[in-house]
Amino acid sequence: MTLLAKKRSYKPYVPDFLTLCERNYAQLRFFLPGAAAAHSDIAAKMTAGASKVIQINEYEGYRIKLLELCKFTTTIKIEHVSDTALGWLRPQFEVRLYHDARLAEVVSCQQVRRFKAVYDYPNLEMMQPDEKRQINLLLRDWLMLCQRQGYHSVESLS
């Protein structure tokens, strides 16, 4: 008799996801244009439209731009700027920071917006069951890379 293993569906573990978003917020605050080390009044020190470039080498960098600035939330865009890479190959994502909860969540990645907590698999959009978690892990990895490489102090642009 052959028994087929029943495939377990993905169930998000909310405390794990919130911890990831908290860590992203704590690391991201050092890279925000106009933000100081004290995160208690981070939104008061920023202006919408401000941007900052983290230069990787003489040809490539990452621009962090403030898109929207509200009392409790801030939306930023992180995009790869390069003289050599084609535009559609450059990674970019939008992150919403919730200052009251001290969370940072990716809301858009490569022109895909409004991620569901769980996707059926397989699906027409070709998303992983835990796509929302995966893109927030991408932000975490990018922030850790910037921190390890010492990309802390960069010039602000207007």
Strand partners, 82: 60
The per-residue pLDDT for range 81-130, each reduced to its tens digit, is 887 777 667 788 899 999 999 999 999 887 777 777 777 888 787 877 78
The per-residue pLDDT for range 33-55, each reduced to its tens digit, is 765 434 445 555 667 788 888 88
Helix (H, G, I), strand (E, B) or coil at 121: coil
Helix (H, G, I), strand (E, B) or coil at 8: coil
Residue 104 pLDDT? 96
C-alpha span between 74 and 123 (Å, rounded): 32
CB 114 within 8 A of CB 105: no
Checking phi first, is residue 110 left (phi over 0); if not, alpha (psi -120 to 50) or beta?
left
